[in-house]
């Protein structure tokens, strides 16, 4: 009986030590990642601004997806500008019109 209780206590202590060690390692990696992000804030800000499309959203008349006004896939017909998600949609709409 005493041996079972001793083994249970040892198991609990090992689990607590392992949890503390793993927690410290994970926290260290988190701090290192945060420091790396703070070291280059201009580069991170530039990446965020480059990834965002600009302008209003317009519905693609072929597939129905919404596309930013700054897309390269545009076509003017009958005095109206159409915006497309891809060259394939632009071609389909041009043929159908």
pLDDT score of 70:
86
Q: What total number of domains does the chain contain?
A: 2
Same domain, 8 and 24: yes
Q: How far apart are CA 28 and CA 12, in angstroms?
A: 24
Residues 31 and 8 in one domain: yes
Closest CA to 83 of 68, 96, 63: 68
- Rounded to two decimals, the pTM is 0.45
Same domain, yes or no, for 59 and 91?
yes
User: Tell me: the pLDDT tens digits for 33-89?
Assistant: 888 777 766 665 555 555 566 678 999 999 999 999 888 899 998 889 999 999 999
The answer for residues whose C-beta is within 8 angstroms of residue 55's C-beta and 6 or more apart is 68, 69, 70
If asked whether residues 32 and 69 sit together in one domain, one would say no
Taking only the tens place, the pLDDT of each residue in 3-22 is 999 999 999 999 999 999 99
Range of the structural domain that residue 63 is part of: 53-96
Same structural domain, 58 and 90 = yes
CA distance 13 to 30: 26
68 shares a domain with 46: no
């Amino acid at each position: 009986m005493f041996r079972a209780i001793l083994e249970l206590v040892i198991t609990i202590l090992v689990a607590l030590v392992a949890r503390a060690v793993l927690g410290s390692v994970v926290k260290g990696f988190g701090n290192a990642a945060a420091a790396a992000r703070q070291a280059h804030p201009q580069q991170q800000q530039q990446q965020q601004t480059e990834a965002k499309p600009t302008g209003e959203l317009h519905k693609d008349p072929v597939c129905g997806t919404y596309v930013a006004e700054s897309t390269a896939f545009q076509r003017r017909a009958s005095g109206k500008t159409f915006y497309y998600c891809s060259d394939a949609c632009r071609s389909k709409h041009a043929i159908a019109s």
